[in-house]
Structure 1
Amino acid sequence: MSGVPQNVAEVVKQLTELSLQLAEATTQINEADVAAVNARETAKLAEAKAFLAAEGSVEARKSKAVVETHQVRLAAEVADAGVRGLQRTIRSLQTRIDVGRTFGATLRSEMNLAGTGAFGS
Structure 2
Amino acid sequence: MSPVPQNSNDVVMHLGALSRQLDETTQQLNEADVAAVNAKESAKLAEAKAFLAAEGSMDMRKAQAVVETHEVRLAAEVADALVRGLIRTTRTLQSRIDVGRTYGATLRSEIALSGSGVHGS
* Structure 1 letter corresponding to 2:42: T
CA distance in 1, matches of 2:51, 2:40: 16
Q: CA deviation at 1:118?
A: 1.2
TM-score (norm 1): 0.98
2:35 aligned with 1:35: yes
User: What is the match of residue 67 of structure 1?
Assistant: 67
Aligned residue for 1:117, secondary structure, equals: coil
Cα distance in structure 2, aligned partners of 1:34 and 1:117: 57
AA at the equivalent of 2:51: F
Listed one character per residue, the Cα deviations across residues 37-90 of structure 1 (whole Å, up to 9, x for unaligned) are: 000000000000000000000000000000000000000000000000000000
- Give yes or no for the alignment of 1:79 onto 2:79: yes
Equivalents in 2 of 1:115, 1:32: separation in Å? Answer: 50
What residue in structure 2 maps to residue 14 of structure 1? 14
Residue identity opposite 2:15 in structure 1: L
**Structure 2 counterpart SS, 1:23:** helix
- Runs of 4+ in structure 1 deviating by more than 3 angstroms, as ranges, are none
Alignment of 1:81-120 (within 5 A): 81-120=81-120
Structure 1 match to 2:25: 25
TM-score w.r.t. the length of structure 2 is: 0.98
Deviation at residue 117 of structure 1 after TM alignment: 1.5
AA in 2 matched with 1:20: R
Identity across aligned pairs (percent)? 73
Q: 1: CA distance between counterparts of 2:40 and 2:92? A: 27
CA RMSD of aligned residues (A): 0.7
Instruction: Show the counterpart of 1:52.
Output: 52
Aligned residues: 121
Question: How far 1:115 sits from its partner (Å)?
Answer: 1.3
Distance 2:89 2:37 in 1: 20
